[in-house]
Amino acid sequence: MNFSDLLEKAFNFQDYGLLLPLVTNSLIAGAALGIVGGLIGIFIMMRDMAFAVHGIAELSFAGAAFALLIGADVVTGSVFGSMIAALILGILGTRARDRNSITGVLMPFGLGLGILFLSLYEGRSANKFGLLTGQIVAVDDVQLNGMLLLSAVVVIALLLVWRPLTFASVDPVVANARGVRTSGLSIVFMMILALAVAVTIQVVGALLVLALLITPAAAAMRVTSNPVTTVVLSIVFAELAVVGGILLALAGSLPISPYVTTISFLIYVICRGIEAVRSPRRHQV
């Protein structure tokens, strides 16, 4: 394949108008996911949990693969998988050090289980790969409703605990003294995170969840420290990545994930650039 073939495969807007209606459901799901990723990413960053998210994603993948194998609903399967991982991390990994090692132990185990279930599965092979690297080419109405419901639960739950969770995340000692139930909140947050991961996997796959759950918030934090602006930018970046990614993917014959992750990455690079131009001092430490 030469470069122009690749371009042809990646960007081809010929039948765009015809294809667009086919992905309406995916776009709606993607938009919901953008809000989820933009919001929860801020807390993942504050709590320094990027690695734990990856661990949860692998167990979520195992759950989804198991559901596929036994013919159950894949979203339900991944919710179960990530809930189990989140509970283990929430209960055992209260300190960052422990959490990292537990995540390191869980991750390959989850991935291994998932691969086992997938190799036993005899259905369409596209489904297999999709769980790892993303799939929503066609989201049906039932799936869409499930994803919207999960997204709504995540967003509402986050709003309900927003202020104390922020306090507990940035300054646990003082928050605890102020009467914030920091350990209870951390379990609650793990549950919310588990749901968010389970939804995200449906769109970008287990290996790429960080592109939507971390990168937008990380990018926003590079350019602002105003909490409200951070929220707005983080959501905008996540929407650009996921909705933009789906729209671009339509023009080619490649899966959507590379588009989503590339946009997300470029936004981050641009934000770092802006930060470096604005305050070169910060990087000298």
Partner 1 sequence: MTQTPIVKFEDARLAFGSRVLWEQLDLSIAAGEFLAVLGPNGSGKTSFINTMLGTTALNHGRVSIAGEPVRRGSAAVGLIPQQRPFGDNVPLRARDLVALGVDGAKPGIRMARRAVRNKVDELLELVGASGYANRAVSDLSGGEQQRLRAAQALASDPRVLLCDEPLLSLDLNHQQAISEVIHRQAVERGSAVVFVTHEINPILPYVDRVLYLAEGRFHLGSVDEVMQSSVLTELYGAPVAVLRVNGRIVVVSGDGTRALPADGHDHIEDIELETGK
> Which residue from 9, 124, 178, 278 is in contact with partner 1, where contact means CB under 8 A?
178
Tokens of 85: 């991982």
> Which residue from 46, 236, 247, 254 is in contact with partner 1, where contact means CB under 8 A?
46
Q: Which of 69, 44, 70 is closest to 57 using CA atoms? A: 44
State the number of binding residues for partner 1 (CB under 8 A). Answer: 31
Residue 148's CB is within 10 A of a number of other CB atoms, namely 16
- Minimum distance, C-beta of residue 265 to partner 1, in the bound complex (Å): 18
- Show contacts of 175-184: CB within 8 Å, 24+ apart: 183/94
Q: Residue 90 half-sphere exposure, CB side, CA atoms within 13 Å?
A: 20
- Report how far apart the first and last C-alpha atoms of the chain are (Å, whole number): 46
DSSP class of residue 276?
A: H
Choices 62-70, 155-163, 187-195, 258-266 (CB under 8 A): range interacting with partner 1? 155-163
Residue closer to partner 1 by CB (options 45, 256) is 45
- Which helix (H) or strand (E) segment holds residue 67: the answer is helix 50-70
Q: Which of 210, 158, 152, 216 is closest to 189 using CA atoms? A: 158
Residue closer to partner 1 by CB (options 6, 269) is 269
> Which residue from 59, 64, 221, 249 is in contact with partner 1, where contact means CB under 8 A?
221
Interface with partner 1 includes 48 (CB under 8 A)? yes
Interface with partner 1 includes 210 (CB under 8 A)? no
- Minimum distance, C-beta of residue 227 to partner 1, in the bound complex (Å): 5
User: Which residues here bind partner 1, judged by CB under 8 A?
Assistant: 42, 45-46, 48, 159-164, 166-167, 170-171, 173-180, 218, 220-221, 224-227, 230, 282
